[in-house]
Structure 1
C-alpha cells in the first residue's frame, strides 16, 4: 500500500471496475428465498448538477443499497432523470437566444429536436457526478421520464383516468408565470417578504350616503373587483351588508358581502374581493357566486389592447375568459377605461393610484411588508389567473392513500411526518396537470373544428374509436403535462408498466423512499395515489424523510447568501480564486458580489483542500440524525478525512505485520491473547449496534459506532496491544499466529462493516487484507455484511481488558500530569488490590510493562507507608508513582506557576466579560452559555494544577 492515503488515486479506478463488471445489478443468482430490496432514486432534473442535498440524499440511499446487497437481498437501486419541463425548455431557449432566435422561429418540432440534441450532449452532468459520489444504482436500467416506455405509461394513465371521469378540463385559478407564459405548481413558487405599500382607497356607497375605505396591496386588480367583504360580526359595517358600492374608475356597482374570511383587525376591516386574481378571493367568490373578471393577459398586462375598433373587440381565449355566465366577454363589458388597456400591471398600478388621487379617493398610503410570490425559474412575480387547464379529480384517489398510512401499510420515518401528510391529504384539491410549454408529454387529447375533445393514446386510436374519417380535421392539444405527473408513476413505470414485466413482479412494491419533507405532497402523496390506483398496492413500504443540508450556522444554502458548497469541490478541492469566481459569477448586484467575496476569503483563506468522497460520505452519515436538518461544517469533514488516514495507516501496520507471514491459514495452532478475545468481543457489539442503527435509519449512530470502534478500540488500543505479542520475542508461535489472525480478521470485517458508507477506501484495503483472512471474491461489495453472531462475545475478556486499560491510562495520566517524559520507565506501587487484581496483573504483565512503560510494579503491604506519590484508582486498587527522583522539583513548580498564572488571567477576563450586562444582555444566548462553560472548564483546570502544585511542594 502507498505510504499515504490519496483518495483521487483510487476512487475513479474502483468505480469504473464496479460499473464495468455489472456489480450494481440485481443478483442473477438470487435464490427463491432472497428478499427483494428496491429503492427508486428521486429523479434529479436532467438540467441539474449535484448539490449538497443530492449528495446527502444519495449517500443515504447508496448506504442502504450496499448494506442490503451485502446482506444477500436481491437489490435494485433504480436510476433515472426527470425531463424537467420548464427548466429544460429555459436552458435550450437561452441557447437559441444567444443565436438571435426563439423557439417560435424554429417551430415546435424543430425546437424539440434541439432539446433532444442538448440532452444527448449536456444532459448527463448530474449522473456523472453521482458516479463521483460512489452511487451504485444499476445504470444499465437507467430511465428518463421522456423515454418511449415511460411516455407510453403516461398516456395510458391519462386515458384511463379520463375515461373514469377523474381527469377533466376546466377553468380555475392557477399560479401563472407571466414570463414563461405557463401555469406553475406551488413548489415552483417561492414567496419571500418584500417591502411594499398598503393603499387605502375610498369606495363610494352607491346610494350617495358615504364611502367605505378598502385597504389593498395590489391596486391594479381593483379593475376586476366583484364585491367588498366585511366580517359578519364587525358591528361597524353590519348595517351596510347587502348594499352596494360603485367601483371607482370602472363604475360597476358591486355588493357589500359578509364573510368570515375577513379579519376585522387588518386594515379597515373592509376587503376588496377580486376572485379572478387572488386565491382567497376565489374561494370567497365561489361561496357567494360572484362574477369573476379576468383583467390580465398572459403577459400580466391589462386586457383591451387591440388594433380593432372598440365596437368590435375580439380576444383570444388565453387573453380573457369567455363562454361562461360568470365571466365578462371583453374589456368594454367589464368597464375597464381605455387608458389602462395594454398597460403592464405595474404601470397600471401607478396610473390607477394617480387617477384615484385626482378623484380624492386615496385615504392614505402606508409602508407595508408583504409576502411576494415569485417563480423559482423566471423570478417574475406570479399572477393568480383564471385559465383553462386539465385537472385530476384527486379526492376519490386520496381516500385510500390516507388509509394505507393510517393502517401501517406505509410507514413514515420519523413517524411525525405522517401528520404533515394527513394534513395535506385531508385538504387536497384537484391537481392542475397541464403546462403551456412545448417540452414534455403532450396531452393526448385532440379537438375537431367545433371544439369537441377526443382523448386517446394516439390520433389513430381516436379516429378508430370515434369513427372519424380523415375529412374530419383534428388538432392535438398544445399543452404538455406537469412534470410531476410522470414522476407520480415513477415506482412502476420505470419497471416496465403497463407491461407486466419480471422486474415489476420482483421489485414492486419498492422497499423505501428516501426524500426530503418539502415534496411529501407534490411527489410522495401522488406516487401513493397512482400506485394504489394502477398497481393495486402501495409503491413503497417506508418513507424515510431526511432534513435539509444547511451551512455551519444553520442557514439555508443559497447563492444569494454566498454559503453554497459544491460536493465536487469538497471531494476534489478548489483554490480560493476559483471558489470566489464561482460564488460571485452571475450575481447582478455588485454589493452582493463584494460581500460574498469578502465572506468567502475569510471562511476559506486557502481555498478548500481535497477531502475525497469517503470523508464526505462519512460526514453526511455522521450528521444524519432522523428528520433533523444538517448543519454542515467543513471542520467535521476535516475530522473524517483524518479518520480515513487513521484507517489507512492501521491497514499499513496490519499488512506489514501479516503479509507473507502465517496468519493461521496453514492449520497451525492459534492461541488468542486477552487483547485478541477482547477486540473480537467489542467487534461483535459494534456489528450489532451498526446493524440495528442502519435498520432504524440512524446513520449517525452507525457512523459513530464504526468511528469509535476503529479509532478508539482497534487503532488506539488493539494495534498497540498487538505489538508486545509480535515484537517482544516473549510470545509463543501460537500466540503470534493468533494475534496475526485476529489483526486481519477484525480489519477485514471492519472494512465490510464500513463499506456501505465508505466504499472506496474499504474496497482498496480489502483487496489486500481479504486473502490474509482467508476470504475470496472479486469485490467487497458482494461479500456478506458482518453479523454479531460471526464473532464470540466474551464479557470476561471485556471486563479484564477494561482493568488493563484503566491501569495503563492511570499511569499515563500521572506521567502527563507530572510532565514526565514518555520514554522514562516508572516505578509503580499498588495498594488495596484484591486477589483478582493480583491474578490480572500476573496474566497481563507483558501488556502493562510495554504500554505503561513501567520500571517495576510492587505490591505494598497493609502496614507499609507509601512515599509521596501521584495516585490513580483502578477500581478499588490504588496505583501510586513515587515522585522523588522522577522530576526536577523546582523546575516543575516554576512551570506550574506559569501555567496557573495564564489560567488566572483567563478567568479574570471571562469573569469580567460575564459580569458586563452589555455583553450578557445583547450577545446571543448560546454565546453567553459557551463563555460560562469555558469559564467552568478553566476554573477546574486551575484547581487541578493547584492540587498538583501542593503535592510536588511536599516532596
Structure 2
C-alpha cells in the first residue's frame, strides 16, 4: 500500500479537476488500461483461474440496453475477481449472424440492381467478408465506451478458421454417432428469406384475421358432412383428413368414412384423435400435415399423405388447381370466394384476433412448411444437460428459474440445424455421383466429382460451441487447461432455451474429450448460470421501436457518463427480475459519482492519508464507528456479489457512501480535524482508509470515477490491479456504535424541530443540552453543536422552546432560544402555502388510487410510488397543521 504524506494533501487535491467531467477522462483511462495489459489473461499464471465468455453479439448489431446490462454485470464480476487475486479471462467476440448479415449485404446489392445469384456463391461470400471488415464490429467501439475489461488480444469471430474447425469437428463426431440426420419435417419457413429459421427468430403478434367456417362433404343436410373453422383457407388445398375426438358421439357414424374435398375432389378420411378438443368450435378440424405443426404430428400418427402446396416463395404450387401460381394471401381470398359460390361458407367472423408468427428479420408472416432439412437428435444430449443441473455440476441463479429449465430441456424436440443461406458454416456433407453420402472433417478432402450440401448451419450451432471453441478446441490448449469450464455465464432469462441449452448440450457431449482433460471436471461449459431480467422503461413497459420508448445506452454515456449508465443498471439487477430504468435513475447515478468526487476532494484538502491506523483506543467514537460500518459493508457486499445480487451490493454501497460517509462521517470529521484537535491525525488516516476501501469496493461497477479518485488519493498505479478489501479482523465496538447512533438521532430530531420552527439551515441558535452526560454523549457535544447549528448558552440564556429526545441510555432535553429568529407573519404565510401544496398532492394521489381503470393498467412500481406520495402528503398536512396551531392559527 502506498502511504501518502499529509503535507502533499493540497497538491493531491489540486491534481483533481474542479468538478467531475466523465467525457474528459473516460477514453484516455480506458486506453491506458488496455495499453498496460491489465485485461490480458495469462494461462501460465499460478493464480487460480476465473473466466467468462462474452455472449457474442451479432456482427451487424449495436449496443442496446440489454447488452449494456449484460456487459456491466460481467465487467463487475471480472474486475472484482482480478482484484481478489484471480487470473481473469473475459473473452470477447462476435457472431457471424447468418440471416442478418446476408440480408444486409443482399440489400446493398439490391440498391445496385443486383442479386446474390448474379455474383455467384463464392463472390457473394467475398462480398460479405468485405462488409465485415469495413462495417462490422461497431459494437466493439461501444464496448470500450462503457468500460468493458475484455481481453482484446483473444477477440474471436464465429467464422474464424479456428472456430470453423471446431464446427466441422463436432459435426462429424455427431454425424458418426448417429446424432445428426437428414429428414423431411415441418419448419418455420420464411418466404422472403427462403430459408428455415429458428424459433427465436419468430415473433408472435396479435393480428386481426378472419375465421371462416367451411362445410366439407355433402351440401345436403341429410348426407355425410362436417363443418370446420379456419383462419387459413388457402391451406385447405393440402388437407388430407378431417379429425374429431374419438369420444365425440356427433361424429362416430363418420369414422372410417371419407368426404369429398370441396376443391380438389379428393376423398379424405374422417379420423379420430384425442388431440381434437370437442368443446372448441364444431369439434371437427381439417388436417393439413405439411403446413401446420399440430397437423404434422397428427399426420405422423395416422400415416396421412403430406402434400406441400406452397413453394419457397409462399405461392401456391403443385396443388393441381387453378390457384397454382397465386400468392398465399391472394389465394386465401380467391379460394374463400369459390367456396362461398359453392355454398360452403357457413359463417365468417371478422375481425378475428389471433396470434401469428412473423419473421424477426424480414417481418413477413412465417409459413409452417414441410421441408428436407438437417436435424440434431436431442434426446440423449438434452438428458445430459438436464442431469448436469440436477447433479449440481451447473448451478442456476436464481434457483427459481430451474423449473423453466427442466420444462424446456426435458421436453425438447429435435433441432433443425440447416439454413438455406450462403453466409455461414457450410454443412460438411458431400454427395457422390452414384448417390453416396459422406461427412468429411476438417483434415479430410472429398473425392473429385463430389458435391457439397448447399445449406449452411444454424448460427446457434456455432455459438453453442462458444465456451470451448474460442479457447482452441479441438486442440488441447493452455487456455482450456486454465480457464475451462468457464466460471459463470451471464445472460438474460429470455434466451435460456436457445443459446444456453445448446451450449449445455454441446458441452456435456464433449466433456470426455482429451483436450478438456485438464479442465476442472469438464462436464459443463460453465459452473454457474446467472439469469438476469429484461431492461424495461421507467413505467415497467418493454422497450420497443413501435412504442418509441427505447433508450440508447451510448446517449446516457454521452450525457451522464459511463459510470452513471453502469450504476443505474447494476443497481436494478436482481436475479431473474426485470428492471425498470429512466432518465431520473441515470441522473441520480451521475449525482452519486459527483458526491464521491466531492467527498474525496474534501478529504484530500483536509489531509486524508493512507497509512497505518492508530490503535483502536486512540480513535474517537466516530472513527471506530465508521471503520466498523466499513467492515460490515465489505462483508455484505462480498456476500451479495457471491450470490450475484448486484442490486443489493450497489444499494449497500450507495447508502454507506452517501448516508453514512458523506452525510455523517465527513461532518463529524470536520469537528475532529479542527485546528488543535488531538484527534486530527487519527481522523486523517481513518478518512483515507475508508475512502480507499470504498473506492475499491465500488470500482467493479463504476470504474472510471473510482480510478481517477483512487490514484490521486493513494498514489497507486491503478485501482484495476489493487487488492480487493480484506477482512479487518477487529471486533466491532458496540459502545461506539450505540453512541454514534444516539448522536444521529439527537441531531436529526433537533434539525427536524428547527425546520418546524422555520429556522434557516445556516442559522445558529443558542441551546442547552440537559442530561447529555447521562446519555454518555458529553464527549459528542462539539459534534452535536456543529451538526445541529447550535451555540453554547451565554449568561442570561432563556429558552423559548424545547424538545425531549429519548436515547438509548437517557432522555436529553434540548432547550433553545429562538426569540428574535423567526418572522411570525412570514412563517405563517410559508406554512399556509406548503399546506395548500400538500393538500393538492393528497387530492391528486387519492384520486388516482381510487381510479379502478388506472389501477388495472399501471405497473406495480408506479402504484407503489403514488401510494408513497400520498402517505408523505398526509404526514406533511399533519405536521404543518400542528405547527400552525403552535403559532395560534388553529
User: 1:461 is paired with a residue of what secondary structure?
Assistant: coil
Q: How does 1:817-896 map to 2 (within 5 A)?
A: 817-831=756-770, 835=774, 837=775, 839-841=776-778, 843-856=779-792, 868-875=801-808, 876-883=810-817, 885-888=819-822, 890-891=824-825, 894-895=828-829
Partner residue in 2 for 1:328: none
The C-alpha deviation readout for 1:708-739, integer Å capped at 9, x for no partner, is 1111111111111121222x32313xx22211
User: Aligned partners of 1:458 and 1:914: how far apart in 2?
Assistant: 67
User: Aligned partners of 1:407 and 1:374: how far apart in 2?
Assistant: 38
Instruction: Assess, with a 3 A threshold, how the Cα gap between structure 1 residues 421 and 951 changes in structure 2: closer, same or farther.
Output: same
How far apart are 1:177 and its partner, in Å? 0.5
How far apart are 1:827 and its partner, in Å? 3.1
The C-alpha deviation readout for 1:69-90, integer Å capped at 9, x for no partner, is 1111111111111100000001
Partner residue in 2 for 1:294: 308
The C-alpha deviation readout for 1:46-90, integer Å capped at 9, x for no partner, is 111000000011101110111111111111111111100000001
User: Aligned partners of 2:852 and 2:725: how far apart in 1?
Assistant: 57
User: 1:120 is paired with a residue of what secondary structure?
Assistant: helix
Instruction: Assess, with a 3 A threshold, how the Cα gap between structure 1 residues 908 and 348 changes in structure 2: closer, same or farther.
Output: closer
Preserved contact between residue 849 and residue 863 of structure 2 (Cα < 8 Å): no
Instruction: Assess, with a 3 A threshold, how the Cα gap between structure 1 residues 705 and 218 changes in structure 2: closer, same or farther.
Output: same
User: Aligned partners of 1:460 and 1:908: how far apart in 2?
Assistant: 78
Q: How does 1:162-181 map to 2 (within 5 A)?
A: 162-181=175-194
User: Aligned partners of 1:352 and 1:729: how far apart in 2?
Assistant: 96
Instruction: Assess, with a 3 A threshold, how the Cα gap between structure 1 residues 445 and 249 changes in structure 2: closer, same or farther.
Output: same
Instruction: Assess, with a 3 A threshold, how the Cα gap between structure 1 residues 166 and 930 changes in structure 2: closer, same or farther.
Output: closer
User: 2:426 is paired with a residue of what secondary structure?
Assistant: coil
The C-alpha deviation readout for 1:186-217, integer Å capped at 9, x for no partner, is 00111111000011111115998142111111
Partner residue in 2 for 1:209: 223
Preserved contact between residue 434 and residue 480 of structure 1 (Cα < 8 Å): yes
The RMSD of aligned alpha carbons is 2.8
In the alignment, is residue 274 of structure 1 matched against residue 210 of structure 2? no
Preserved contact between residue 390 and residue 433 of structure 1 (Cα < 8 Å): yes
Instruction: Assess, with a 3 A threshold, how the Cα gap between structure 1 residues 745 and 527 changes in structure 2: closer, same or farther.
Output: same
How far apart are 1:264 and its partner, in Å? 2.0
User: Aligned partners of 1:101 and 1:915: how far apart in 2?
Assistant: 60
Instruction: Assess, with a 3 A threshold, how the Cα gap between structure 1 residues 888 and 571 changes in structure 2: closer, same or farther.
Output: closer
| Aligned mate of 1:369, from 353, 369, 384 | 353
TM-score, with length taken from structure 2 = 0.92
Partner residue in 2 for 1:10: 25
In the alignment, is residue 539 of structure 1 matched against residue 525 of structure 2? yes
How far apart are 1:906 and its partner, in Å? 3.0
Q: How does 1:583-602 map to 2 (within 5 A)?
A: none
Partner residue in 1 for 2:705: 761
Instruction: Assess, with a 3 A threshold, how the Cα gap between structure 1 residues 444 and 701 changes in structure 2: closer, same or farther.
Output: same
Q: How does 1:221-232 map to 2 (within 5 A)?
A: 221-232=235-246
Preserved contact between residue 814 and residue 872 of structure 1 (Cα < 8 Å): no
User: Aligned partners of 1:206 and 1:826: how far apart in 2?
Assistant: 100
Preserved contact between residue 40 and residue 79 of structure 1 (Cα < 8 Å): yes
| Aligned mate of 1:487, from 463, 475, 493 | 463
Preserved contact between residue 725 and residue 731 of structure 1 (Cα < 8 Å): yes
Preserved contact between residue 614 and residue 757 of structure 1 (Cα < 8 Å): yes
Preserved contact between residue 206 and residue 246 of structure 1 (Cα < 8 Å): no
Partner residue in 2 for 1:511: 487
The C-alpha deviation readout for 1:392-414, integer Å capped at 9, x for no partner, is 11112122211111121111111
Question: Higher relative contact order by CA 8 Å / sep ≥ 6: 1 or 2?
Answer: 2
TM-score, with length taken from structure 1 = 0.86
Instruction: Assess, with a 3 A threshold, how the Cα gap between structure 1 residues 28 and 923 changes in structure 2: closer, same or farther.
Output: closer
Partner residue in 1 for 2:5: none
How far apart are 1:364 and its partner, in Å? 1.6
In the alignment, is residue 303 of structure 1 matched against residue 317 of structure 2? yes
User: Aligned partners of 1:293 and 1:797: how far apart in 2?
Assistant: 84
User: Aligned partners of 1:365 and 1:558: how far apart in 2?
Assistant: 34
User: Aligned partners of 2:753 and 2:140: how far apart in 1?
Assistant: 56
Gaps of 5+ in 2: 1-15, 513-522
The C-alpha deviation readout for 1:760-790, integer Å capped at 9, x for no partner, is 111111110113xxxx4x2111111112336
Partner residue in 2 for 1:730: 676
User: Aligned partners of 2:556 and 2:29: how far apart in 1?
Assistant: 19
Instruction: Assess, with a 3 A threshold, how the Cα gap between structure 1 residues 738 and 620 changes in structure 2: closer, same or farther.
Output: same
User: Aligned partners of 2:328 and 2:545: how far apart in 1?
Assistant: 29
Partner residue in 2 for 1:720: 667
Preserved contact between residue 315 and residue 327 of structure 2 (Cα < 8 Å): yes
Preserved contact between residue 296 and residue 302 of structure 1 (Cα < 8 Å): yes
Preserved contact between residue 40 and residue 491 of structure 1 (Cα < 8 Å): yes
Preserved contact between residue 771 and residue 811 of structure 2 (Cα < 8 Å): yes
User: Aligned partners of 2:375 and 2:453: how far apart in 1?
Assistant: 14
In the alignment, is residue 400 of structure 1 matched against residue 337 of structure 2? no
User: Aligned partners of 1:348 and 1:672: how far apart in 2?
Assistant: 88
Moved more, 429-438 or 849-858: 849-858
The C-alpha deviation readout for 1:602-648, integer Å capped at 9, x for no partner, is xxxxxxxx011000100001100111111111111111111111111
Instruction: Assess, with a 3 A threshold, how the Cα gap between structure 1 residues 714 and 30 changes in structure 2: closer, same or farther.
Output: farther
Partner residue in 2 for 1:949: 884
Partner residue in 1 for 2:111: 98
Number of residue pairs aligned between Structure 1 and Structure 2: 860
The C-alpha deviation readout for 1:735-772, integer Å capped at 9, x for no partner, is 2221111222211111110000001111111110113x
How far apart are 1:3 and its partner, in Å? 0.7
Instruction: Assess, with a 3 A threshold, how the Cα gap between structure 1 residues 512 and 858 changes in structure 2: closer, same or farther.
Output: farther
Preserved contact between residue 30 and residue 73 of structure 1 (Cα < 8 Å): no
Partner residue in 2 for 1:812: 751
Preserved contact between residue 58 and residue 95 of structure 2 (Cα < 8 Å): yes
User: Aligned partners of 1:56 and 1:201: how far apart in 2?
Assistant: 51
Partner residue in 2 for 1:256: 270
Preserved contact between residue 552 and residue 632 of structure 1 (Cα < 8 Å): yes
User: Aligned partners of 2:865 and 2:356: how far apart in 1?
Assistant: 38
The C-alpha deviation readout for 1:263-305, integer Å capped at 9, x for no partner, is 223222210000000000001111111111111111111114x
User: Aligned partners of 1:913 and 1:283: how far apart in 2?
Assistant: 54
User: 2:777 is paired with a residue of what secondary structure?
Assistant: helix
Q: How does 1:149-160 map to 2 (within 5 A)?
A: 149-160=162-173
| Aligned mate of 1:615, from 564, 575, 596 | 564
User: Aligned partners of 2:396 and 2:154: how far apart in 1?
Assistant: 28
Instruction: Assess, with a 3 A threshold, how the Cα gap between structure 1 residues 795 and 166 changes in structure 2: closer, same or farther.
Output: same
| Aligned mate of 2:735, from 796, 800, 806 | 796
How far apart are 1:558 and its partner, in Å? 1.1
Instruction: Assess, with a 3 A threshold, how the Cα gap between structure 1 residues 935 and 655 changes in structure 2: closer, same or farther.
Output: closer
The C-alpha deviation readout for 1:125-158, integer Å capped at 9, x for no partner, is 0111111111111110111110000000000000
Instruction: Assess, with a 3 A threshold, how the Cα gap between structure 1 residues 340 and 138 changes in structure 2: closer, same or farther.
Output: same
Instruction: Assess, with a 3 A threshold, how the Cα gap between structure 1 residues 848 and 752 changes in structure 2: closer, same or farther.
Output: same
User: 2:560 is paired with a residue of what secondary structure?
Assistant: coil
Preserved contact between residue 810 and residue 873 of structure 1 (Cα < 8 Å): no
Partner residue in 2 for 1:589: none
User: 1:559 is paired with a residue of what secondary structure?
Assistant: coil
User: 2:510 is paired with a residue of what secondary structure?
Assistant: helix
User: 2:766 is paired with a residue of what secondary structure?
Assistant: strand
In the alignment, is residue 745 of structure 1 matched against residue 689 of structure 2? yes
How far apart are 1:916 and its partner, in Å? 7.9
User: Aligned partners of 2:479 and 2:747: how far apart in 1?
Assistant: 58
How far apart are 1:451 and its partner, in Å? 2.9
Partner residue in 1 for 2:10: none
Instruction: Assess, with a 3 A threshold, how the Cα gap between structure 1 residues 551 and 914 changes in structure 2: closer, same or farther.
Output: closer
| Aligned mate of 1:447, from 431, 434, 438 | 431
Instruction: Assess, with a 3 A threshold, how the Cα gap between structure 1 residues 910 and 642 changes in structure 2: closer, same or farther.
Output: closer
How far apart are 1:362 and its partner, in Å? 1.3
Instruction: Assess, with a 3 A threshold, how the Cα gap between structure 1 residues 739 and 538 changes in structure 2: closer, same or farther.
Output: same
Moved more, 359-368 or 454-463: 454-463
Moved more, 46-55 or 674-683: 674-683
How far apart are 1:923 and its partner, in Å? 8.3
